A = this chain, B = another copy of it.
């Protein structure tokens, strides 16, 4: 199962919680959310205050070293952020719903946009 995402900025966190919820096909089990891109990632973090995602993007920019990277495409910092954040998530499904914490949202993390992206979902009992 796949979700399509259109990002609008070079770097951006897109809340995909509702898109994932709509595709739940099981009552109880595990949902794997998987990002097939190498300059993007997935994370779960606070969804209530939009400042949190901006603070996280700023912090990721700051902490990624500004080196003389060899990769000719010029997007090595995006590859590095992808591996730091990670490219897959496990979420428990209970009674047909994502068992997230009160403040948790699922974010697609764009590090080299804007682009047309996709996410794979897999449900397991």
Contacts and interface: CB of A to CB of B under 8 A. Distances in A.
A60 B51 CA distance: 21
Give the copy number: 3
A125 B86 CA distance: 23
Nearest to A40: B101
Contact of A86 (B51, B58, B86): B86
A22 interface: no
Measured as residues with beta carbon below 8 angstroms from the partner, the interface class of chain A is 35 or more
A5 interface: no
Contact of A70 (B54, B69, B73, B124): B54
Interface of A: 29-30, 32, 34-38, 43-46, 49, 51-52, 54-56, 58-60, 62-65, 67, 69-73, 76-77, 79-80, 82-92, 99-104, 120, 122, 124-125
Given A30-B32, A58-B67, A62-B67, 8 more contacts: A37-B101, A38-B44, A38-B101, A43-B86, A52-B76, A60-B80, A63-B64, A87-B104
